[in-house]
């Protein structure tokens, strides 16, 4: 009898609170349904379709599409591009964030705006910039031709375009974080006799490592998935200047749907892994 | 090690933070920089540490010019207002940091570092907490870790920025006494910044009072409290009543009353302000002479050993505050609304208007 009474009073209180602060049942269900339907249509359905199409001709055909030489070459180029663009933006992002948050100087707001530039312009235009600079008709075109340096329609152009497009990720992740942390810990380290490098590696870096990793994951995902800018500078030479996203497009345009989706599913898996990593890092950042 | 500051100037844009500041800190003393916020005291401390460059002037440590010496070579200990402990390191590693970053030839061995850190943990009474993270400590404990970390490198000068500012009143009082005792033990030249007059007067050997980027007065706590050099210092240290009037031949006329100001015997009818501490007054039911000021009791706060009275001047409605010992208050039997006469027993007169700008004692 006593336990029943306790139980009743315990459940009565939360219910009253919900009624006072929450929406009615109909509104709640309506809002949740809209969100779920939207998620299913825009995210889940395409995800299922990618894998459905990829395996449409069976597992052997799927495997063939992935290990085909052109596909492997595209995968290699994608990895190479990311392997250069991500470390380059690690250095740039940390240096830019350090500059912006630890020092006062003229033109600081201009620098912050410039860091965001690759996000603000369309990726196609980002690609065009490099064609205008390094292409045959570009500013540096003649000089490059004379010295037999190929940038556009070659690997350097793809790396440059990818690096440009993914430049903001690390810096944008670090600037608010470092701004919030201030520079008192660095000052304390220097007063205690630490050099600039010691201060960076022993004080600054441990404080920003999770934010940095988060930025790198996003940067890597974009570097591997970038289509627009790379498409402009690549020239689509099979086995030479094709990255995975470009390879997917070529296959699709040739009506090789199953093969196209098989390669696309690799990129999709990459996205899912990125998502999982991102969630993990987010948890560590919060703790 | 003694510190000398000569003709120091520092401006941030158009705001002048320090204006021709001179300061002497004798070796081994504990000095308080006291002033309202924006008076430049923290800027001065940061310039002494080398965290901020000065526009002009120089700083000498033990007679040696250190103006251009980099922070890391100045051998100062700095305790930040919000402690600035390394959040990803244990308390032990925080304290060991200054020793670990030394160049290899002068770096102590791991064993020596451990002994030093354990010794400091004992000194700040935190032996058991060496493995905790700063986030797991209370404010007072963090403060002591910050102090131990600064002391680990055997600084020649210890600088503390608002060391007790972020603590609650009770912890603050304890830490104050503790800092005083610590200073007697380690005897390192120390300068601390505070806006709390009680803190400055209680802890330090010498108080430097700053206002608007200038040093108003420096001296022992007794000197600055008993003999304030400027109206600002008078108003900043302790509660004080201001009476505006005209100074003439050694007297100040405040309305119908006249107060004695013998040091102004040469003055001829000039504007002046009489400063009277709230406890330097006598209350009488009837006028006791020329210096009596007629008032009406507005409010009585009758708890504790000192009774605080708020009085309105009959002449112009101006407010007067008076602090009386309980025995005297009981004898007078005052009630709200009653008429009472206030006679200042000790008056200090400064020339000029009450804002105190550039007014100096004659």
Which among B74, B84, B88 has the least Cβ separation from residue A188? B84
How does residue A6 score in pLDDT terms, banded at 50, 70 and 90? very low
Q: Beta strands B157-161 and B76-79: pairing type? A: parallel
Confidence of residue A287 (pLDDT cuts 50, 70, 90): low
Distance of alpha carbon B323 from alpha carbon B326, whole angstroms: 9
A198 in contact with B at a CB cutoff of 8 Å?
yes
Min Cα–Cα distance to chain A from B150, Å? 7
Rounded Cα distance between B245 and B247, Å, is 7
The answer to whether the CB atoms of A187 and B84 lie below 8 A apart is: yes
Residue pair B220/B206 in contact (Cβ under 8 Å)? The answer is yes
Across the interface, do A206 and B84 touch by the CB < 8 Å criterion? no
Nearest-Cα distance to chain A for B185, in Å, is 22
pLDDT tops 50 at residue B360:
no
What confidence tier does B214 reach under pLDDT thresholds 50, 70, 90? very high
What's the whole-number mean pLDDT along residues B122-148? 92
Which pLDDT does position A84 carry in this prediction? Answer: 96
Write out the DSSP string of A93-161: HHHHHHHHHH---TTHHHHHHHHHHHHHS-HHHHHHHHHHHHSTTSTTHHHHHHTT---TTSHHHHHHH
In order of A14, A32, A242, the CA distances from A66 in angstroms are 55, 39, 14
- Chain A: residue nearest B12 by CA? A104
A4 has pLDDT over 70: no
Measured in angstroms, the CA of A274 and the nearest CA of chain B are apart by 26
For A87, A90, A99, the CA distances from A243, given in Å and listed in that order, are 19, 22, 34
A87 to chain B, any CB pair closer than 8 A? The answer is no
Residue A30 clears pLDDT 90, i.e. is over it: yes
Closest among A177, A196, A205 to B86, alpha carbons compared: A205
Q: Judge: A187–B101 Cβ closer than 8 Å, yes or no.
A: no
From chain A, the residues in CB contact with B101 under 8 A are: 189, 192-195, 198, 202
**pLDDT tens per residue, range A82-100:** 999 999 999 999 999 998 9
Rounded CA-CA distance B112/A266 in Å is: 56
Instruction: Tell me, yes or no, if A83 comes closer than 8 A to chain B by beta carbon.
Output: no
Asked if B102 reaches chain A (Cβ–Cβ under 8 Å), the answer is yes
pLDDT of residue B68: 80
Q: In chain B, whose CA is at the least distance from the CA of A181? A: B84
Q: Which residues of A touch B145 (CB under 8 A)?
A: none
Shortest CB distance from A184 goes to which of B74, B84, B150? B84
Q: How confident is the model at residue A3 (pLDDT cuts 50, 70, 90)?
A: very low
pLDDT at residue B172 greater than cutoff 90: no
Q: How far is A121 from chain B (nearest CA, A)?
A: 36
Rg (CA), chain B: 25
| Selection from B277, B259, B252 nearest residue B351 by Cα | B252
pLDDT at A1: 41
A285 touches chain B (CB under 8 A): no
A chain contacts of residue B97, beta-carbon cutoff 8 Å: 189, 192, 194, 202
| Distance from the A188 Cα atom to the nearest Cα atom in chain B, whole angstroms | 7
CA distance A116 to B12: 30
Are the beta carbons of B72 and A206 separated by less than 8 Å?
no
| Residue to test with chain B: of A102, A188, A200, A203, most B Cβ within 10 A | A188
CB pairs under 8 A between A and B: 61
Return the H-helix or E-strand segment holding B45: helix B41-49
pLDDT at residue A17 in the model: 54
User: What band does B187 get if pLDDT is binned at 50, 70 and 90?
Assistant: confident
| Closest CB from B72, B86, B98 relative to A203 | B86
Residues B49, A207: C-beta atoms closer than 8 Å = no
> What's the confidence (pLDDT) of residue A9?
46
B107 touches A at CB < 8 Å: no
What pLDDT, on a 0 to 100 scale, did the predictor assign at position A18? 57
Within 13 Å and on the Cβ side, how many CA atoms surround A132? 7
Angle at A219 between CA A215 and CA A131, to 5 degrees: 140
Instruction: Answer whether B76 sits within 8 Å of A191, measured CB to CB.
Output: yes
Contact B101 A207 (CB under 8 A): no
**Which residues make beta-bridge pairs with B188?**
none
Nearest to B355 by CA among B273, B276, B278: B273
Q: In this predicted model, which residue has the larger pLDDT, B108 or B254?
A: B108
- Out of B50, B87, B97, closest to residue A192 by CB: B97
The pLDDT assigned to B1 comes to 85
Q: Please report the pLDDT score of residue B168 as a whole number.
A: 81
Q: Is A194 on the interface with B (CB under 8 A)?
A: yes
State mean pLDDT over B129-148: 92
Q: Taking CB atoms and an 8 Å limit, are B87 and A198 in contact across chains?
A: no
Q: How far is CA A261 from CA A62, A246, A249, A255, A265, in A?
A: 9, 12, 10, 11, 6
Averaged confidence pLDDT in chain B = 89
For range B30-51, the mean pLDDT: 92
Tell me: the pLDDT tens digits for A157-216?
999 999 999 999 999 999 999 999 888 999 999 999 999 999 999 999 999 998 999 999
Chain A residue numbers touching B88 (CB-CB < 8 A): 206-207
Residue B40 in contact with partner chain A when CB distance is under 8 A: no
- Give B263's pLDDT tier (boundaries 50, 70, 90): confident
The alpha-carbon gap from A182 to the nearest alpha carbon of chain B, in Å, equals 10
Q: Are B97 and A190 a contacting pair at CB < 8 A?
A: no
Residue whose entry in the numeric block shows the structure tokens 């005297």: B328
- On whether any CB of chain B is under 8 Å from the CB of A192, the answer is yes
Mean pLDDT computed over B152-180 = 87
What angle in degrees, to the nearest 10, is found between the helix axes of A168-181 and A205-225?
160
In this complex, is the C-beta atom of A195 within 8 Å of any C-beta atom belonging to chain B?
Answer: yes
pLDDT tens, position by position, A47-93 = 999 999 889 888 898 998 889 899 999 999 999 999 999 999 999 99
Chain B residues touching A286 at Cβ < 8 A: none
Q: How confident is the model at residue A2 (pLDDT cuts 50, 70, 90)?
A: very low
């Amino acid at each position: 009898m006593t336990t029943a009474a306790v139980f009743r009073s315990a459940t009565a209180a939360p219910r009253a609170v919900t009624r006072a602060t929450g929406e009615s049942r109909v509104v709640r269900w309506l809002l949740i349904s809209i969100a779920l339907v939207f998620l299913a249509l825009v995210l889940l359905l395409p995800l299922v379709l990618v894998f459905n199409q990829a395996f449409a001709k069976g597992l052997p055909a799927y495997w063939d599409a992935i290990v085909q030489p052109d596909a492997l070459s595209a995968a290699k180029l994608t990895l190479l591009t990311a392997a250069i663009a991500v470390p380059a933006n690690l250095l740039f992002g940390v240096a830019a964030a350090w500059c912006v948050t630890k020092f006062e100087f003229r033109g600081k707001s201009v620098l912050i705006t410039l860091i965001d530039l690759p996000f603000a312009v369309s990726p196609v235009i980002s690609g065009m910039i490099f064609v205008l600079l390094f292409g045959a008709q570009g500013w540096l075109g003649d000089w490059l031709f004379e010295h037999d340096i190929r940038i556009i329609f070659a690997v350097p152009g793809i790396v440059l375009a990818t690096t440009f497009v993914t430049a903001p990720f690390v810096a944008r992740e670090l600037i608010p974080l470092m701004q919030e942390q201030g520079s008192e810990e660095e000052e304390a380290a220097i007063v205690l006799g630490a050099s600039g490098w010691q201060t960076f590696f022993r004080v600054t870096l441990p404080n920003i490592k999770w934010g940095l990793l988060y930025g790198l994951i996003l940067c890597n995902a974009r570097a591997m998935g970038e289509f627009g800018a790379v498409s402009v500078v690549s020239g689509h030479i099979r086995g030479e200047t094709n990255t995975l996203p470009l390879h997917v497009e070529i296959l699709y345009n040739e009506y090789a749907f199953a093969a196209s989706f098989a390669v696309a599913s690799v990129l999709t898996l990459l996205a899912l892994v990125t998502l999982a990593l991102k969630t993990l890092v987010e948890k560590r950042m919060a703790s | 090690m003694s510190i000398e500051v000569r003709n120091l100037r520092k401006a941030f844009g158009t705001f002048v933070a320090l204006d021709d500041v001179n300061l002497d800190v004798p070796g081994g003393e504990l000095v308080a920089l006291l002033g309202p916020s924006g008076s430049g005291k923290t800027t001065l401390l940061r310039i002494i540490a080398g965290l901020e460059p000065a526009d002009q002037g120089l700083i000498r440590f033990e007679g040696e010019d250190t103006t251009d010496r980099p922070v890391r070579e100045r051998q100062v200990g700095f305790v930040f207002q919000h402690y600035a402990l390394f959040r990803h390191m244990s308390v032990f590693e925080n304290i060991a940091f200054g020793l670990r970053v030394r160049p290899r030839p002068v770096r102590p061995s791991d064993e020596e570092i451990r002994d030093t850190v354990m010794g400091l943990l004992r000194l700040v009474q935190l032996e058991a907490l060496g493995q905790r993270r700063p986030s797991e400590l209370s404010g007072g404990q963090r403060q002591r870790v910050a102090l131990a970390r600064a002391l680990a490198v055997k600084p020649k000068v210890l600088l503390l920025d608002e060391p007790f500012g972020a603590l609650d009143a009770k912890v603050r009082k304890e830490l104050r006494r503790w800092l005083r005792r610590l200073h007697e033990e380690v005897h390192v030249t120390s300068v601390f910044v505070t806006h709390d007059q009680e803190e400055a007067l209680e802890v330090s050997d010498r108080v430097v009072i700053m206002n608007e980027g200038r040093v108003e007065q420096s001296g022992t706590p007794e000197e600055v409290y008993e003999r304030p050099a400027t109206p600002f210092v008078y108003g900043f240290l302790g509660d004080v009543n201001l009476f505006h009037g005209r100074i003439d031949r050694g007297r100040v006329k405040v309305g119908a009353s006249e107060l004695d100001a013998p040091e102004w015997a040469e003055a001829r009818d000039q504007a002046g302000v009489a400063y009277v501490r709230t406890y330097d007054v006598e209350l009488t039911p009837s006028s006791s002479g020329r210096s009596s000021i007629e008032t009406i009791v507005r409010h009585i706060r009758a708890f504790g050993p000192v009774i605080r009275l708020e009085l309105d001047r009959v002449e112009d409605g101006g407010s007067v505050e008076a602090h009386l010992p309980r025995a005297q208050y009981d004898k007078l039997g005052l009630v709200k609304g009653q008429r009472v006469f206030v006679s200042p027993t000790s008056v200090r007169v400064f020339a000029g208007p009450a804002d105190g700008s550039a007014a100096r004692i004659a």
